[in-house]
Amino acid sequence: MAERTSLGRSSDGIISHTNSQRLSRLQEAARLIAGGGLGNSSEVVPDSTMRTTPADIVHAVDLYAAQFQSDKPRSLAGIALRSFILGLLLSLCAGAAAGLIYLAIPIWRAPFFLFALCLFHFLEFWTTAHANPSAAGVSSFLLTSNGSAYNIAHSCALLETTISHMLYPHAILPPWAHTLLLCSGLVLIFLGQGVRAAAILTAGPSFSHLVVHHKQTDHVLIRHGIYSILRHPSYFGFFWWGIGTQLVCGNLISLVGYAVALAWFFKARIKGEEILLVKFFGDEYVDYTKQTFIGIPGAK
């Protein structure tokens, strides 16, 4: 839910009048385009000074198309390139992991981890685009917008699972414990990914990767679907997805690191969001908190 900005008024009123006139023309042009150029017979014909000209329609279309250019946040070229790279890596890693599993080579966990990452980032864009198309853009993949700590954490996890299974190809733990941890990790990965996707799709147009600090006119408290059970289900999903990946990878150091870092991060973020949500919805949100849980250690 990105913040909206309002048009300012200049001291002489000229800029404000020009902006409002231009907006009226753009709105009329949009209606004409949506109606196939036929307009609406029930509408009152505007004054001749405000009638839309072909040039206005062309300008409106150009403004709309400009947001998809290669240097813009919603660049179609950027989206296509990232989708292609993620799809290619996902396929290669899935094939590599399957082949190594077939050959009983423990290092299969490294390409599996990359596969899980590719799938996560692709679904992050896809669910956003499906639920809230107007908010979908290059940044919706979350490939570079999480900061350097995010990339460092995943790099360390990949390095740990690669080195540990090269140096110790045979399981250190008893077979039953190894199988239990592996299966638990897979369950958490699917659970976390599923819950996060469900959270985004259920939120629909209300979903955003950014925290909103001001209540909007169409801002409503979502209490159905996955939100009837969990508060902040997208955070719940990512937390347990991250824990699951490290269990599958067999990483001890990264498992502890992920758990501590993610719990601390989400505890702070949820605390700030809860303050804003109480401010937005008052007692309605307070009652909602009594009927749901967060499901992340340390977060209340």
What CATH number corresponds to the domain at position 100?
1.20.120.1630
C-beta contacts of 256-265 below 8 A and 24+ residues apart: 257/153, 257/156, 258/153, 258/157, 259/297, 261/149, 261/153, 262/238, 262/296, 263/239, 263/296, 263/297, 263/298, 263/299, 264/298
Q: CA 162 to CA 160: how far, in whole Å?
A: 5
Do 228 and 164 reside in the same domain of the chain? yes
Do 22 and 96 reside in the same domain of the chain? no
pLDDT on residue 5: 36
Contact 275, 289 (CB under 8 A): no
Do 95 and 212 reside in the same domain of the chain? yes
Phi, psi of 208 (to 5 degrees): -155, 150
Do 88 and 113 reside in the same domain of the chain? yes
pLDDT on residue 17: 46
Phi, psi of 187 (to 5 degrees): -60, -45
Do 180 and 116 reside in the same domain of the chain? yes
For residue 297, being part of any structural domain is answered with no
6 class by beta-carbon count within 10 Å (0-12 exposed, 13-18 middle, 19+ buried) = exposed
Do 245 and 126 reside in the same domain of the chain? yes
pLDDT on residue 50: 63
pLDDT on residue 208: 83
Q: What is the mean pLDDT of each run of 10 residues along the chain (300 residues)?
A: 39 44 53 48 51 78 79 92 98 98 95 98 97 92 90 97 89 86 98 98 88 78 95 97 98 97 95 93 95 94
Do 58 and 100 reside in the same domain of the chain? no
Do 59 and 98 reside in the same domain of the chain? no
For residue 2, being part of any structural domain is answered with no
Do 167 and 62 reside in the same domain of the chain? no
Do 58 and 84 reside in the same domain of the chain? no
Rounded to 10 degrees, the C-alpha dihedral 286/292/296/298 comes to 40
Do 153 and 36 reside in the same domain of the chain? no
126 class by beta-carbon count within 10 Å (0-12 exposed, 13-18 middle, 19+ buried) = middle
Beta bridge partners of 293: 230
- Going through 80-160 in order, the beta strands assigned E by DSSP cover none
Do 163 and 211 reside in the same domain of the chain? yes
Range of the domain at 271: 76-291
Beta bridge partners of 230: 293
> Which residue shows structure tokens 């048009």?
7
Number of domains in the chain: 2
Q: CA 1 to CA 23: how far, in whole Å?
A: 22
